[in-house]
């Protein structure tokens, strides 16, 4: 993920990345990776978890900048009533579950390559049950992957599939680095861009989508998260954003790119992919738990996009 410098630096790697530089954690956008890890830890320890990530709390505890953040809801004085560690954290738990399900369905349908763009603190290679022959490519900056490796090595964690770190900044030739690492564009693949595109300028998002299309054989699948094209400053007073700023010093609206957003789902449809677009609340209703719409809701503009490239 980016440095503290805001959207120009932020707009290249995803929300799940950015654990840091040599000292183990970066500022600004880098902390959002740890925010999501803390949310996953809280979800894991709920009595009714949507997803379980036993590694998440260890990332939080290993980073000095957030070592006093909660990793269990019981550590939050107002519990689920807290906009950040209650509702927002449950959102990240829901997103984790939905993308877990998507990836597993896709590999069960035959794809054996999984690419995590802006992989950051994603531990899917370690916690999901993969079919034989799966390879997980984790694309992110070297410092990000090093922090994650240090924590997981300290836990003696073993991946459940072949795992290939691809240490490259998404501003560089990440497609070349990916193929150099053994990725086969002629074989079906599953792509995740979790919490990534919010930070990208319009042209960078379109370029990334085009590159994924070029590298995807028929039978490939892609999931990503976008915001509707509207003025994000309308949500300046949303409890999700104000509580995140007040409690942990992350001003998300200052990190998101606020330029005109492309229609990436429509762009993929034009390239022959089948796409479906959902609100997070669709999955709240499906699973029976998670955030529901409320007034001045910063989640109202979020969309989760799922795309499949047909086989020839």
Neighbours of 16 (CB within 10 A): 31
Q: The domain 7-308: what is its CATH number?
A: 3.40.50.150
- Note the pLDDT tens digit of each residue in 137-148: 999 999 889 999
**Where are the alpha helices (H) located in the chain, listed in sequence order?**
7-10, 30-44, 56-62, 89-108, 124-127, 142-154, 174-180, 202-215, 239-248, 252-255, 264-270, 280-287
Q: What are the C-alpha distances in Å from 238 to residues 7, 78, 257?
A: 20, 18, 18
Residue 146 bridge partners (DSSP): none
Note the pTM of the prediction, 2 decimals. 0.91
- Note the pLDDT tens digit of each residue in 103-127: 999 999 999 999 999 998 999 999 9
Q: What ranges do the domains of the chain cover?
A: 7-308
Spatial contact of 53 and 127, defined as CB atoms under 8 Å apart: yes
Task: Per-residue pLDDT tens, the chain, 312 aa: give them.
Answer: 222 222 223 333 344 443 333 334 444 337 889 999 999 999 999 999 999 999 999 999 999 989 899 999 999 999 999 999 999 999 999 999 999 999 999 999 999 999 999 998 999 999 999 999 999 999 999 988 999 999 999 999 999 999 999 999 998 999 999 999 999 999 999 999 999 999 999 999 999 999 999 999 999 999 999 988 777 778 889 999 999 999 999 999 889 988 899 999 999 999 999 999 999 999 999 999 999 999 889 999 999 999 999 998
Chain centroid, CA 210 distance in Å:
19
- Is residue 230 classed as helix, strand or coil in its secondary structure? coil
């Amino acid at each position: 993920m980016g440095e503290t410098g805001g959207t120009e630096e932020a707009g290249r790697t995803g929300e799940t990345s950015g654990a840091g530089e040599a000292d183990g954690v970066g500022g600004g956008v880098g902390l959002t990776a740890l925010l999501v890890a803390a949310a996953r830890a809280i979800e894991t320890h709920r009595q009714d978890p949507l997803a379980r990530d036993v590694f998440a709390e260890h990332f939080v505890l290993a980073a000095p900048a957030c070592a006093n953040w909660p990793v269990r809801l019981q550590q939050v004085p107002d519990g689920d009533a807290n906009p950040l560690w209650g509702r927002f954290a449950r959102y990240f738990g829901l997103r984790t579950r939905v993308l877990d399900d998507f990836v597993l369905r896709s590999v069960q349908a035959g794809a054996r390559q999984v690419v995590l763009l802006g992989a950051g603190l994603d531990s899917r290679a370690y916690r999901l049950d993969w079919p034989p022959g799966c390879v997980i490519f984790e694309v992110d900056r070297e410092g990000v992957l090093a922090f994650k490796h240090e924590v997981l090595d300290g836990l003696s964690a073993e991946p459940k599939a072949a795992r290939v770190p691809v240490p490259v900044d998404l501003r560089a030739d990440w497609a070349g680095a990916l193929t150099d690492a053994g990725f086969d564009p002629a074989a079906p693949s599953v792509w995740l861009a979790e919490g990534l595109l919010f930070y990208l300028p319009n042209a960078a998002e379109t370029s990334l989508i085009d590159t994924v299309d070029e590298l995807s054989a028929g039978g490939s699948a892609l999931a990503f998260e976008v915001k509707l094209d509207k003025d994000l400053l309308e949500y300046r007073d949303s409890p999700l954003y104000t509580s995140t700023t007040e409690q942990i010093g992350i001003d998300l609206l200052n990190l998101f790119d606020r330029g005109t957003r492309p229609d990436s789902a429509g762009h993929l449809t034009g390239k022959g992919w089948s796409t479906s677009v959902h609100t997070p609340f669709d999955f709240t209703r499906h699973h029976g738990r998670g955030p529901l719409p409320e007034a001045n809701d910063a989640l109202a503009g979020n969309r989760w996009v799922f795309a499949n490239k047909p086989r020839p």
